[in-house]
Each structure stands twice: as C-alpha cells, then as structure tokens.
Structure 1
Amino acid sequence: MGIVIMPSYKDYWSTSYRYAKIADIMSLKRFQQVRRFIHFIDNTQADLSDRYYKLRPLIDSIRNQCLSVEEENAFSIDEMVIPYKGKKAGSRRQYNPNKPNKWGFKNLVRAGVSGIIYDFMLYGGDDTFRGIHFTEEEESLGIGSKVVIALCKTVKKKASTIYFDNYFTSLELVYILRENYGLFSLGTVRQNRLKDAGNKLVSEKILKKKGRGSFSQVVCNENKISVVKWFDNKQVTLVSSYTDAYPLEKIKRFCKESKGQVDVTCPQIVKHYNRHMGGVDLADMLISLYRTGIKSHRWYMNIFSQLLDICINNAWLLRRRHNKMKHTVPLKDGLKKFRYEVYAGLLKRDRTAAVTQTESVSENKKIKKPVAERPPDEVRFDKFDHWPQLSGYQRCKYCKTGQASTLCTKCNVHLCYVKNRNCFLAYHVKQ
C-alpha cells in the first residue's frame, strides 16, 4: 500500500479498482478485522503515566534493534515529524509552521550520514526523558541540549562527531559532549546563546560590507571551542569542539550581477557541517517516498506505520552497505524494489505452496505395511528441509511397482518423481 496508493483502503478490494496483489491475500472483512483488533499492550497492566504507553513495547523493541546496528562515526541529530492531523492525540500532537507536515508527532532522531537511524525518542513534554538520568550540570541545560545528551548516551564509538542545528546548540552542550562523553560536535547556534563570544565577533553589517565569503572567528583554547560567523547570502554562526575556519576553501555560488558562477571563500567548519548534517533529512525523505498510510481514529496507528517504514528503510540501507563492503557488483536495488521483495518474502514465508494434489497411485498399489524403517510422522510431515537428491535406483518406498532414483535427504528413502507419478509429494503430505 506504500507503493500503490489509492484514496481509500477499500478501493483495493472494490470492483472498479481492485488490486490483486493486495486483494488476493485476504478479504476486505479480514483486513478490517485486523485493523480493528490490532493492539500493542495490555491496558490493564500499562503504565498510564507514560504518554506513549499504547506503543511502548513496540517502540522499545524497534529502538533496541536500531541500537544493535553497527554504527558510523558521524551522526546528525534532528527532529522528524510523523504526520497526524487528528485531535485525539491531545498535546502529543505538535505544530511546526516551518515543516512540510505542520501537524504531527515530534520524533527526535540520531541518524548517520547514510540515512540509517540508530536511535530515536518521541517527544512527550515532561515525559520525554523517561528512564534517562542527567547530572546536575546537564539538568540546567535547555530541552534541546538535553535531547542531544540523551541520544548521545547510546553512542558506542567514542571520538565520534555529532552534528545538530541551532534548536539544540549551546556552548555548554558542546563543552559537555567533549569533556564528559568524549564526543566531538558541531552545530549552528543562535546569537542569544553565544554569551561573551558574540561581543568579540564582527557584526553582520561589517561582514556584509566585505562581501560574500567574509567571516569572523573566535577560539577558546582553554575549553577547546571555536565560534565562526560566516556571511553568504546571509550570516550563519557555527560552533565546534574539533575544527575552525581553517583551512579555507573555495566554493561555487551564483552571482546575480555577473549572471554566472563565482568563487566564494568557505571556512572549513561550514564544509564539515554541510557534508554531515543531512542524515535525518535523508531518512525522512526516504520514508516520505513510499509512506505506509494508515488512516485511523486511533492516534498511535500513525506512529506504528512510521516505525514500520523506519525498519524497512534501515534494512535497505544496511543491505546497500553490506554489498558495498563486499565489493558486490551494484544492481538496480532501489527502495521500491526492496519493498516489493519484503512483500513477496513475507507472503511466502512459513506458508504452504498452493499445490494441486493428484492421486496418481491407487490404494491397492500403495505400500501399507512397509518392511523398511520409515521416519516418525513428526519428521515426515513437518514440511521442512525435505530436499530431493539423485541417487542409485532402488524400490520406491511409497508405491509397490516403482523404481526410484530420487532420494529424500531428510527421510533417507527413495521415492518416485517421474512424469505420471509423484510419490515424493504424496509421501510427505498427510492424508
């Protein structure tokens, strides 16, 4: 349903728009029954103080799987909006006018440059940091800085680098990440969070007079923090604990006056930020390509569908990473094709193939009192790992007249497998 989207889920079963790849799996009433009764926790044993108790077991399970993935050494932290316009979620639903999906749940994510999501936490107001302990120094920080610290507690590789935008950044956060957690960091910062460093930087008016590419820098060697203000179309201020403006590089920008590309001086800190900050945005873009839409009055179903898409996208990105490490010849392995492979695999896994059973051996020709030892019925009819293998001719152990060269590797018996008689199939099917 994420690939082939229709206005209503009932259209997949309708006479005019019927889509066989969905309608042939189950009936409409069965699908509606599953939608109605799907549930993730026993309400009588739930912790009602948890704002997301309806999904907590599922959230913890998927989060633990994300944490088990082998990590990169550069991460970006940002918020991901789970679209939801209903009003039954109460204050869990947030409004952000600067996002494409303005209404929805706020999911705070730590992702790699590749787009793989390694950790996440749903925003729940005062209940956001459930089960997470902070020091007194960390408690004094704002909610944005506490989100970064909470997501960085699960980073396995020390000396990794964390990137975030101005919603999260503060000078205290950059210092604590390096001193207490051994993590480097880089982020854009708001002017009102620079403290004394803001007074030592050149004003935007002076930078604008100097032209595009001009910058101003302040470095604190004692706390190992650098602050750089750079002017392009407008000013941007960045703070880092591992790099500064040097070495300078040249980048191409379009100039209205000359109506062409011109070289603009770019500090090194800006290059690092632009190169590594887009991990969460990439993950969000991949989810939006083939979003699993579940329209329901229950607010938590939208979060459930988002978690499903996170799992699928992580799996696809991990397979691409694996193929790259093994130097496998790259195939046309798009996300759409991968989603279809998941569909096809789940459809056939642990299900019996549709085989038309034909009785080719009459009752009077079956071996009813076998002399040779037969495997127990629990093994014979378990439909697992009964592979045919060519062997020398022996009498068939199912019919009285056949000479068989096909051996069952699990039951270790010879069975006919010829054009007009399939004793191999009949032997393993319970009558």
Structure 2
Amino acid sequence: MASTSSKKQTMMFGFCEALLEEDTSNYDYNNDDYRRHTGGADSDTEQELSDDDSNRDAHVFVQENEKEDIIYTGKDGTTLWFSNPKQAKVEYLSIKPSIPGVNPFAKNAKTEVECWKLFFNDDILEDILNYTNEEITSKTFAENHNTRVHIVKETSMDEIMALLGLMYITGLNNSTGYNLTDLWRSDGTGVDIFRMTMSLQRFNFLQGCLRFDDAATRAQRSAVDNLALVRAIFDKFVGNCQKAYNPSHFLTLDVKYIPFRGECPFRQFMPKTSAAYGIKMYSLVDAKDFYTINMEINAGNQPSGPYVTSYEPVDIVDRLVRPVSNTGRNITFDNYFTSIPLVTHLLQEHMLTCTGALRKNKKEIPFSFLTTQPRGVGSSRFGFQKHMTLVSHVPKKSKIILLLSSYHHDKTFDITKCGDKPKPEMITFYNSTKTGVENVERLCKMYDVRNYCKSWPLLILFTMLNIAALNSYIVYMANNENSKLRRSEYVRKLGLALVKQHLKTRTDKNNLPRELRKRIFEQVGEPLLDPPASDVKPYKRCRDCPSSKDRKTKYCCLECKKPICLQHVITMCQNCTSLAID
C-alpha cells in the first residue's frame, strides 16, 4: 500500500499545475466530512501519518469504544480527557466561513501584467528604481574612463521591468544556477529575447546594482534591524498578498528554507536540508489553491530596539494568522508548532481552529496514549475536551502517532483503503492539508528565477518574484474563468509583456545591427521601416590633386560639379558671395 501511495504522490507532483486549475466554486466548507486531497511528500517527523494519503472521497464510519465514559489524566496530573465526546460537552466554533476568491479591488485585473502588478505595484517598483539609480550613481564615479558609458548609465522604469521580465524567462528556461552566458549566445544556441532586450554586461550590472532601501540612512537602520535592507519592500509585498485574494477555509503554516551560503547576519544552519545553510522563512498558505497569504523572515537575534522579535512557536503562529483572524478557518501545522496552549490561544484570541501533530513530551498527554500495550496495530484512542480532540494511533508495532485538533470532535474513521484497520479521519485530514507550503515551494522551483548571487537582499527579491508569479497566476485563472492557460505559458507571457515596452524604446536606437532590429520589431509586432536615405554625400577623389595623392573629398564645385578638396577652394563669406553672384 505504501508503494501505491508513493506512486500516486509522484504522479500528483508531476502534474501539480493541474491542481491550480481545479474549480474552486464547488466546495462545501460547512461539511465536516471534508475529503479533498492535495497530496504531498511526508515530512521527516511524520512519516507514518502519510501511509494512506491519496484519495479522501470515502465513506466513513464511527468506531465505538469498548469501554465508554473513561476519563484520562495527563502527565501533569490536572489535564482531563474524556473518552466520550458527550462527556466533554463539546462546543463547535460557530463562524460562517467566508467565500474564497479574488477580492473586489483585484477583480479588474485581466492580463498577466495587471495581475502581477497587484503584488509588485508601482510603489514597490518606484522604490527599486530610485534606490538602484542611487547605487548606479555612486558606482559611476568609481569607474575608470575605459568603462563603456552605456553599461554604467542610470536605468529607467521600462528597463527595470525588462530586467524582471528576463529573470522570469530565465526561470522558464531552467537556468537557475547556470552560466547566463549561454542565454546570450549569438551562434544560434542562445535565446533571442535576451540579446534583443539588453546586453549580458548590462543585465549583470543592473542585477548587481539592485537596491531596496535608502543608502543614506542604511547604517542607522541596520543598527536596530537585521532586515533593514529589505524591510520596506518585503512588508509592502506581503501586504499586497493579503489584500488581493481571500483564501479557502483550510490553511497550512510551515517553515520554508531558502538555501544560501553567502554573508548574512541571520543565516542559519539547517541540518535537515541539502543546502545545510540558508535563510529561514515562515509561510501561511492556502492548503487548496497554494496561494501564499503571509510570510515572515526569521531575522535571528535582532539588536535591542523596536524590531526585537520572539521566534517561539506560539508567537510565530500568532503573528502569521492575523490576516485571517476571527474568520473561523482551520490552520494545519506540524509538531514544531502544535501545543495545547497554542490551540487554546487560537480559539480564544483569533477564533480559529487548528490541526497538528503533537510531540510525545507534552505534559498534558495521558500515559495511556503513549503506550502500545495492550493496544494492537491499527488501533486508535481518543480523548475529548470541550474545544479539542486528542487521538493516539498505532500505525505499526512500537510506534505511536499523536494528533491534536480543535476542528474535529468525534470518532470518525476513514475506511477507503484501510480495510479492517481504518485510520482516524483526523489523520487523513492532516495528511491532505499539511503539505501546502511544500507544494508552493515545489511549484516555485519549477520556474525558479534565482541565479548565482552573494547578496541576501537579492535572494529575498528572487523569492518574492517566485511567489508573485504563482499568486498572480491564481488570480489570473480566477478572473479569467474560461481560460485554460498553463502556468508555463503564463510565466512566458508575463516575461514577454514585462520586456515589451523596453523593446519599443530600443527600436529608436540607430546603432543596433539590422538583423537585431528586425527581430525586435517582430517581437513588438510592428513593421520594420527602412531607414531614410542619408544626406551625406559620398567621398570622391579631388580632380585638381594629382592621382598619386589619392585625396578624397566630399565637396564639389557649384558650377561644374567636379569633386574638389578644400586646398583648391576659394573661401568667401556670404556677403561677398552674394555680391559676386550679382
């Protein structure tokens, strides 16, 4: 069964784009028997929870406990759990879920660029333009006289847009981490759009000069904030993500790791990842549509001041769920975050339910939930309180799985593929909603704009561009209901649309090779006009000079029209010339 599930999971991620094209309208959030599966790989800490995670459209049954009305006491000696939900006097969270979809102000965004600009709006782009030009100006004075002027000159908004567009096309060509020189080759193996838009030297120069904060106040701000270099645009971007889209009822909160080995004040060692070092980021995403709602960067030990931040699990969750507070949604997270105080806090302060794996060292867990004796393989034990449910499941010999949920309040089991050893519906629900952040990361990696860099602010920009491409695609598909555009085509059209205006500007340059000019005109959809006839007269040999001198001249006699050099010309002013003519 495990191999079958693994195969189906592999097929799912091979066609993960199809998940984003699913109809989101026929979705009943009031149904307690939620059975929608989104798939995903198992995490390192919950391998057993995903043995049966491929199809949740199942009939369910309620398994009655052999001994009713049992009261379990936690290891702390005070926490009580009831084996019967009627004993616990369960209370359900009574908030009508909001309808997911695009918010009203984003409904008019129909094209690729319009949807993308919901996230990278003019405010963010103007900040990038202004601060980048400041950096270019400071570099210009340090360059020697042999530097070509057209490479180090200031940039414009059209060129910044073109730069970002080329980054998207780079990701579309799977060039992450590779030498970008291959994309600019003129021997037929390169990609024409890169040479048409700008030179490789200009691309590298602009990318190296990208800045997102005021250099004049940078030292002062960096003294109290590790994220001072990206704080402004990152907060604006996250705010735009929250305003554009209303997520579904089921959300996922998890850690996202960005590999990075360069110099960074808050770079962390990540032993469970292949990169080993990188930047840690927390994300709140839609478990169904994979839309990113909120993000937060772990800035490490902040200096004393207004940006000192606690990265305790309860505090992280409390900050990330604020955009969906008091909406009755359910948050799924792993055992790093799950605790009984957190579940209580989300219910009381945010009116949110949650589902998560629970570590065995929690003092509120009864001892009988931590042992497999005399229980058999496949058995489950439930504990109920007024607002939450604890389940202990034995997936195999000497293995215990613990889940805590304030969304589930009964002994429902899923028997679709479990046969005579069904799993609690809490576990299959957890498996289907826990991989939202992982799925977003997989989708972003398919067309990753990242390339080799030593600057962590630039790495944050790459992450924002990846998220913006995915979020804007979700908005685009929602606003164009009849569209069947694949995400790869969307990214391609977005990249070409971002470079189009800059290509039109380049058509005014007369020093471009004719073949390159022809391709640019074809790309922007305009006819190539032949340049006007030049008024410059051709050089000819002076008739009055001996042929041995072979002296060329562009002047000729007004009377006989013979070519003549200035040595054989009588110079006269206009007044004298007019008198001589008279």
Give the TM-score, by structure 2 length.
0.53
Q: CA deviation at 1:18?
A: 2.5
In 2, are the aligned partners of 1:75 and 1:110 still within 8 Å (CA)? yes
Which amino acid counterpart does residue 421 of structure 2 have in structure 1? V
Task: State the distance in 2 between where 1:161 and 1:215 align.
Answer: 23
Which amino acid counterpart does residue 407 of structure 2 have in structure 1? Y
Residue of structure 2 in register with 1:26 after alignment: 198
Which amino acid counterpart does residue 335 of structure 1 have in structure 2? R
Q: CA deviation at 1:8?
A: 0.6
3-state DSSP class of the match of 1:45? helix
- 1:391-428 CA deviation, whole Å, 9 max, x = no partner? xxxxxxxxxxxxxxxxxxxxxxxxxxxxxxxxxxxxxx
Task: State the distance in 2 between where 1:89 and 1:133 align.
Answer: 18
Task: State the distance in 2 between where 1:322 and 1:286 align.
Answer: 21
Residue of structure 2 in register with 1:230 after alignment: 393
Q: CA deviation at 1:181?
A: 1.2
1:230-249 → structure 2 map (5 Å cutoff)? 230-233=393-396, 234-244=399-409, 246-249=411-414
Q: CA deviation at 1:348?
A: 1.9
- 1:257-291 CA deviation, whole Å, 9 max, x = no partner? xxxxx553111211221222221111111011111
1:8-157 → structure 2 map (5 Å cutoff)? 8-15=179-186, 17-46=189-218, 47-48=221-222, 49-68=224-243, 69-86=245-262, 88-90=263-265, 92-113=266-287, 114-127=289-302, 143-155=312-324
3-state DSSP class of the match of 2:240? helix
Task: State the distance in 2 between where 1:105 and 1:32 align.
Answer: 24
Which amino acid counterpart does residue 211 of structure 1 have in structure 2? V
Residue of structure 2 in register with 1:293 after alignment: 450
Task: State the distance in 2 between where 1:186 and 1:4 align.
Answer: 39
Higher-Rg structure is 2
Q: CA deviation at 1:218?
A: 1.4
3-state DSSP class of the match of 1:52? coil
Q: CA deviation at 1:205?
A: 4.7
3-state DSSP class of the match of 2:272? coil
Task: State the distance in 2 between where 1:133 and 1:127 align.
Answer: 5
Q: CA deviation at 1:317?
A: 2.0
Task: State the distance in 2 between where 1:129 and 1:173 align.
Answer: 27
Larger relative contact order (Cα-Cα within 8 Å, sequence gap ≥ 6): 2
Which amino acid counterpart does residue 33 of structure 1 have in structure 2? F
- 1:179-212 CA deviation, whole Å, 9 max, x = no partner? 121111111110112x1323242513544xx112
Task: State the distance in 1 between where 2:317 and 2:530 align.
Answer: 64
Task: State the distance in 1 between where 2:334 and 2:467 align.
Answer: 22
Instruction: Assess, with a 3 A threshold, how the Cα gap between structure 1 residues 196 and 296 changes in structure 2: closer, same or farther.
Output: closer
Count of residues in correspondence between the two structures: 333
Residue of structure 2 in register with 1:175 after alignment: 344
- 1:2-39 CA deviation, whole Å, 9 max, x = no partner? 02134211222235542212222111121122122111
Task: State the distance in 1 between where 2:268 and 2:312 align.
Answer: 15
Task: State the distance in 2 between where 1:110 and 1:241 align.
Answer: 18
Residue of structure 1 in register with 2:372 after alignment: 204
Which amino acid counterpart does residue 341 of structure 1 have in structure 2? K
Bigger CA drift: 7-16 or 264-273?
7-16
Bigger CA drift: 62-71 or 242-251?
242-251
Q: CA deviation at 1:157?
A: 5.5
Which amino acid counterpart does residue 155 of structure 1 have in structure 2? V
In 1, are the aligned partners of 2:251 and 2:436 still within 8 Å (CA)? yes
Q: CA deviation at 1:315?
A: 1.0
Residue of structure 1 in register with 2:174 after alignment: 5
Instruction: Assess, with a 3 A threshold, how the Cα gap between structure 1 residues 174 and 128 changes in structure 2: closer, same or farther.
Output: farther
Q: CA deviation at 1:44?
A: 2.0
In 2, are the aligned partners of 1:200 and 1:218 still within 8 Å (CA)? no
> Which of 381, 384, 392 in structure 2 is aligned with 1:216?
381
Residue of structure 2 in register with 1:284 after alignment: 441
In 2, are the aligned partners of 1:251 and 1:263 still within 8 Å (CA)? no
Unaligned runs of 5+ in 1: 254-261, 361-431
Which amino acid counterpart does residue 176 of structure 1 have in structure 2? H
- 1:271-312 CA deviation, whole Å, 9 max, x = no partner? 221222221111111011111122122222122111100000
Bigger CA drift: 20-29 or 163-172?
20-29
Task: State the distance in 2 between where 1:204 and 1:250 align.
Answer: 22
Task: State the distance in 2 between where 1:71 and 1:297 align.
Answer: 35
In 2, are the aligned partners of 1:251 and 1:266 still within 8 Å (CA)? no
Task: State the distance in 2 between where 1:18 and 1:357 align.
Answer: 26
Instruction: Assess, with a 3 A threshold, how the Cα gap between structure 1 residues 131 and 121 changes in structure 2: closer, same or farther.
Output: farther
Q: CA deviation at 1:163?
A: 0.9
- 1:24-61 CA deviation, whole Å, 9 max, x = no partner? 21111211221221111112223112111111122012
- 1:106-151 CA deviation, whole Å, 9 max, x = no partner? 11000001110000000112449997999xxxx8xx7112111110
Instruction: Assess, with a 3 A threshold, how the Cα gap between structure 1 residues 132 and 57 changes in structure 2: closer, same or farther.
Output: closer
Which amino acid counterpart does residue 254 of structure 2 have in structure 1? D
Instruction: Assess, with a 3 A threshold, how the Cα gap between structure 1 residues 288 and 205 changes in structure 2: closer, same or farther.
Output: farther
Task: State the distance in 2 between where 1:168 and 1:15 align.
Answer: 53
Q: CA deviation at 1:336?
A: 1.4
Task: State the distance in 2 between where 1:126 and 1:251 align.
Answer: 48
In 1, are the aligned partners of 2:268 and 2:278 still within 8 Å (CA)? yes
In 1, are the aligned partners of 2:197 and 2:503 still within 8 Å (CA)? no
In 1, are the aligned partners of 2:449 and 2:466 still within 8 Å (CA)? yes
Which amino acid counterpart does residue 236 of structure 1 have in structure 2? I
Residue of structure 2 in register with 1:387 after alignment: none
In 2, are the aligned partners of 1:216 and 1:230 still within 8 Å (CA)? yes
Which amino acid counterpart does residue 75 of structure 1 have in structure 2? L
Residue of structure 2 in register with 1:340 after alignment: 492
In 2, are the aligned partners of 1:244 and 1:269 still within 8 Å (CA)? no
Q: CA deviation at 1:247?
A: 1.6
Give the TM-score, by structure 1 length.
0.71
3-state DSSP class of the match of 2:323? coil
Which amino acid counterpart does residue 273 of structure 2 have in structure 1? K
Instruction: Assess, with a 3 A threshold, how the Cα gap between structure 1 residues 157 and 71 changes in structure 2: closer, same or farther.
Output: farther
Task: State the distance in 2 between where 1:94 and 1:204 align.
Answer: 38
Residue of structure 2 in register with 1:259 after alignment: none
- 1:49-98 CA deviation, whole Å, 9 max, x = no partner? 21111111220121011111222221110011112122x114x2222232
In 1, are the aligned partners of 2:326 and 2:350 still within 8 Å (CA)? no
Which amino acid counterpart does residue 474 of structure 2 have in structure 1? L
